[in-house]
């Protein structure tokens, strides 16, 4: 009966795709606005499509190369009697291609609707807040539902055909490798434009936000779509699939997966393997219900509506998951039934932990809370002091989510051992449809605000769009908290799975190769972050030079008599981002393989543990400090502490400029880095065990 429940997830995935198409129809039938709005939206759409086209061409080469590596260089996982000696691994190679294409498809669908929804949301703001919210939210829901639908269909079909999570691992690896490109490339693109626009347009020429005279404005709007819609969607697609696969692999491989005395028979094992997929299907149903509740409840406060959607989805999931857990226990004995209920509560703990982490990020970044207000007030003392304040609060914000992760891990482990930890990660991402919908809403209303200004819709409409945009900033902060927490629980589960598959029962920290692996693991997130921030810095410098050149060579741009050359700035951001993401992507795959080949799988396990721990600190610190700097600047621009054009405002712009690559490039990209490295270790395991039986080329 357990395998038959895969049909629930498969059907839920089909329904999700169908609803994404329906919401697309609802969005596209709305009024796109006046001629100026349509023109601006056309620039944004053309820029986003041009970027994604070039990126997918580069990705095709990358995916093709890795496909050949998996096909011809990795042993087949489906030959137990000759494992690690049988080559031509077509099963995982096929799954890898499907995962890659699925991730690209979900990203493109969300991006396509996002660039269509922005101008329609702006026009809907002329009617009122609720109308503008509906268009933007349903535009974001297309991305959320596409991500979950593609993921569940892919996992369900592959497991049904091959009956082993080792093949589904290839699907997850494909999703992760695409997510790394999408998140890093999109992050570099959007911050290249944003930093350039702020440093020249705002700080030097006192131009308003989204002023059409600023040559980087359209590139910034394009970046919102390729970074925050396609990029974050791929990131959560990656974590979502990886959390399911990690739990499935643990259930399939462990002889005793819990810390209570119980025998795992074939029926119970089959139930445990499909449980993550089934519960994620239930989570999708809960997300769909939550989306419709948001639509039909008359909430004038968009931030409250988004938060309520998360709460509704959580409560609905808890109820439906309990029903399905009970159904799954019908084929089990009393011990198996008790275990399944323990796992159910581990899932709920993971989901609750995700909500706590999300709202912790919200507290440290909202402009009506103490940390952001203190950072804004620090700007009165100058540029250096606002940097010190934001940096300190960013570090402080690491503590609460760390305690949340520790609590979730400890309780879920007590309930169901390492499998409980893996299922807590599944729980944290169970309502990912709602989470991604809320996140994609943010860049849509950000674009809508820009289009409202450039379309000359008037101050009242711009204020309405600002109100929606403020809720979008809060939603993005909460989403990043979810993403960071889920990624870390997921990679811990992948680490447990890796240790089981490689036969590492205990890692001796006094062994020199293990210490070397851990040391390198701690350093890699720092190196990765540095490369991405430097990439933004180098490209932003080119953007600054280009904006200054346009203003100096054509003064009529500033008077509004002639339009800026938007294509040139988009071209700078596109070429720069694609060039700069190559080295970080290579590092994420080659370093784990090199550690395993040279120092052995025990050192690789230590490497992953070190990377997970330091990566968590970097991700939370950079995401929250960047968000707080951004909102401190916005609070000042609302008329506080003297408002725009003052020295306080200029100091806050410096903080925001520093925080931009922190919160939208390096910080969230670390999540994907950790998942990619963990999946690389697992999928290349067969190859690594050939080097001195897993001990590596160098032994001490």
Distance CA 158, CA 88 (A): 18
In angstroms, the CA 49 to CA 43 distance is: 10
CA-based torsion, 636, 639, 642, 644: positive or negative: positive
> Cα separation of 52 and 583, whole Å?
19
Which residues touch 351 (CB under 8 Å, ≥6 apart)? 314, 317, 318, 427, 428, 430, 431
What's the CA gap between 171 and 174, in Å, rounded? 5
Distant-in-sequence, close-in-space partners of 693: CB < 8 Å, separation ≥ 6: none
Domain limits, the chain = 3-694
Half-sphere exposure of 283 (CA within 13 A, CB side): 33
Cα distances from 656 to residues 243, 372, 513, 636, in angstroms, run: 33, 12, 42, 12
Q: By the 8 A CB rule, do 354 and 431 touch? A: no
Among left, alpha and beta (phi > 0; psi -120 to 50; other), residue 206 is: left
CA distances from 454 to 38, 215, 458, 496 (A): 10, 13, 10, 52
The conformation of residue 210, written as its DSSP 8-state character, comes to: T
Q: Can you give the C-alpha Rg of the chain in angstroms?
A: 24
What pLDDT, on a 0 to 100 scale, did the predictor assign at position 84? 47
In the prediction, which pLDDT does 82 show? 47
Helix (H, G, I), strand (E, B) or coil at 503: coil
Q: Which residues are CB-contacts of 275 (< 8 A; sequence separation ≥ 6)?
A: 2, 247, 251, 328, 340, 343, 423
Residue 642 neighbours by CB distance under 10 Å: 13
Check: CB of residue 240 under 8 Å from CB of residue 432. Answer: yes
Instruction: Give me the helices (H) in 429-565, please.
Output: 432-454, 459-502, 512-553, 556-559
Could you say which DSSP state residue 207 is in?
P
**Cα 588 from chain centre:** 16
* pLDDT-flagged residues of the chain (< 50): 81-84, 256
591-630 as b/e, with b when 16 or more CB fall inside 10 Å? bbbebbbbbbbbbbbbbbbbbbbbbbbbbbbbbbbbbbbb
Cβ–Cβ under 8 Å, residues 430 and 279: yes
Residue 590: count of CB within 10 angstroms of its CB: 11
The string of DSSP codes covering 127-160 is T-HHHHHHHHHHHHHHHHHHHHHHHHHHHHHHHH
Under DSSP, is residue 30 helix (H, G, I), strand (E, B) or coil? Answer: coil
- Give dist(CA 464, CA 135) in Å, integer: 14
d(CA 262, CA 256): 8
Task: Report the C-alpha gap between 502 and 247 in whole angstroms.
Answer: 16
pLDDT of residue 612: 92
In this prediction the pTM is 0.88
CA distance 640 to 634: 9
* Residue-level pLDDT at 300: 66
Environment class of residue 338 by beta-carbon count within 10 Å: exposed (0-12), middle (13-18) or buried (19+)? middle
Q: Is 565 left (phi over 0), alpha (psi -120 to 50) or beta?
A: beta
What's the pLDDT at 555? 86
């Amino acid at each position: 009966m357990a395998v038959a429940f895969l049909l629930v997830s498969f059907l839920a995935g089909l329904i999700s795709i169908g609803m994404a198409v329906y919401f697309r129809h609802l969005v596209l039938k709305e009024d796109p606005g006046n001629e100026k709005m349509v023109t601006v939206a056309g620039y944004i759409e053309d820029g986003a499509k041009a970027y994604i086209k070039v990126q997918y061409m580069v990705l095709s080469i990358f995916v093709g190369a890795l496909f050949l590596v998996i096909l011809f260089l990795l042993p087949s996982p489906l030959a137990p009697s000759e494992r690690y000696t049988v080559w031509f691994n077509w099963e995982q190679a096929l799954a890898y291609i499907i995962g890659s294409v699925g991730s690209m498809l979900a990203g493109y669908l969300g991006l396509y609707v996002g660039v269509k929804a922005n101008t329609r949301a702006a026009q809907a703001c002329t009617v009122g807040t609720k109308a503008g919210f509906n268009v933007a939210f349903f535009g974001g829901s297309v991305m959320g539902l596409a991500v979950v639908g593609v993921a569940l269909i892919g996992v369900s079909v592959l497991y049904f055909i091959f009956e082993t999570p080792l093949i589904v691992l290839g699907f997850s690896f494909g999703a992760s490798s695409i997510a790394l490109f999408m998140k890093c490339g999109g992050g570099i693109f959007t911050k290249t434009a944003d930093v350039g626009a702020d440093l020249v347009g705002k700080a030097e020429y006192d131009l308003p936000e989204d002023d059409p005279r600023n040559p980087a404005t359209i590139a910034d709007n394009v970046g919102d779509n390729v970074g925050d819609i396609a990029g974050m969607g791929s990131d959560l697609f990656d974590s979502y699939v990886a959390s399911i696969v990690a739990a499935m692999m643990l259930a399939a491989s462990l002889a005793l997966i819990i810390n209570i005395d119980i025998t795992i028979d074939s029926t119970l094992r089959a139930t445990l393997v499909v449980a993550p997929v089934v519960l994620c299907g239930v989570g999708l149903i809960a997300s769909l219900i939550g989306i419709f509740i948001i639509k039909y409840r008359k909430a004038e406060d968009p931030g409250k509506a988004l938060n309520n959607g998360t709460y509704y989805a959580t409560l609905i999931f808890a109820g439906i998951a309990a029903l399905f857990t009970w159904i799954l226990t019908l084929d089990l004995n009393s011990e198996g039934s008790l275990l399944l209920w323990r796992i159910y509560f581990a899932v709920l703990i993971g989901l609750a932990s995700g909500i706590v982490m999300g709202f912790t990020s919200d507290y440290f970044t909202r402009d009506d809370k103490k940390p952001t207000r203190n950072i804004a007030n620090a700007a009165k003392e100058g540029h250096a002091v606002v940097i010190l304040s934001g940096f300190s609060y960013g570090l402080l914000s690491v503590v609460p989510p760390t305690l949340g992760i520790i609590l979730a891990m400890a309780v879920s482990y007590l309930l169901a051992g390492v499998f409980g930890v893996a299922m807590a990660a599944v729980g944290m991402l169970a309502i990912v449809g709602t989470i991604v919908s809320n996140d994609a809403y943010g860049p849509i209303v950000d674009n809508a605000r820009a289009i409202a200004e450039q379309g000359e819709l008037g101050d009242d409409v711009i204020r309405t769009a600002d109100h929606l945009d403020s809720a979008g900033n809060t939603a993005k902060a909460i989403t990043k908290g979810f993403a960071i927490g889920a990624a870390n629980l997921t990679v811990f589960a992948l680490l447990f799975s890796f240790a089981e598959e490689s036969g590492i029962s205990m890692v001796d920290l006094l062994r020199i190769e293990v210490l070397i692996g851990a040391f390198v693991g701690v350093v890699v997130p720092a190196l990765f972050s540095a490369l991405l921030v430097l990439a933004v810095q180098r490209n932003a410098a080119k953007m600054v030079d280009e904006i200054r050149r346009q203003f100096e060579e054509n003064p009529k741009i500033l008077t509004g008599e002639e339009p800026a050359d938007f294509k040139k700035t988009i071209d700078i951001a596109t070429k720069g981002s694609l060039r700069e993401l190559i080295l970080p992507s290579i590092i994420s795959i080659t370093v784990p393989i090199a550690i395993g080949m040279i120092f052995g799988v025990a050192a690789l396990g230590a490497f992953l543990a070190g990377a997970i721990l330091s990566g968590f600190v970097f991700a939370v610190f950079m995401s929250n400090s960047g968000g707080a700097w951004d909102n401190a600047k916005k609070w000042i621009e609302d008329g506080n502490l003297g408002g725009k054009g003052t020295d306080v405002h200029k100091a806050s712009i410096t903080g925001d400029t520093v925080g931009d690559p922190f919160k939208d490039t390096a910080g969230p990209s670390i999540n994907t880095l950790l998942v990619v490295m963990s999946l690389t270790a697992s999928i290349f395991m067969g190859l690594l065990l050939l080097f001195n039986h897993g001990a590596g080329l160098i032994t001490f």
